[in-house]
Amino acid sequence: MVKMEKNLKQLVSELGLKCTAGEELLNRVPKGAYVSDLLSDVMGKAQENMLWITSQAHRNIIAVASLKELSAIIVVNGRDVEDDVLESAKTEGVVLLSSEMSSFETAGKLYCYLYEINTR
């Protein structure tokens, strides 16, 4: 089986996400995803280069994503992210994406997207 890898730019385009910070880093290739709103859970379980799906939109998500070297954060439910969080993301080199969908819908579409890529 040949593994195809798509980067964040392609994922944003194909899943209808919006990049709110880190546009210059959209060449990153995600290696799976983790869904949680508990920072301690993400710190303990998320792996490097994963996408993190959350409804949290405060500055601490940037610190966790940077620490875990995550591919990007996807903030769901169309939640607004404050300017200080966007600035922190830019400073820390964290890609911040936005989804109008719920965590369930975002995770489902992302799973199908990543599964399709990795089973071709």
pLDDT tens, position by position, for the chain (120 residues)? 345 578 999 999 999 999 999 999 999 999 999 999 999 999 999 999 999 999 999 999 999 999 999 999 999 999 999 999 999 999 999 999 999 999 999 999 999 888 775 555
Query: What ranges do the domains of the chain cover?
Result: 8-118
What is the pTM for the complete model shown? Answer: 0.92
Beta strands in the chain (DSSP E): 18-21, 33-35, 51-54, 72-75, 96-98
CATH class assigned to 8-118: alpha beta
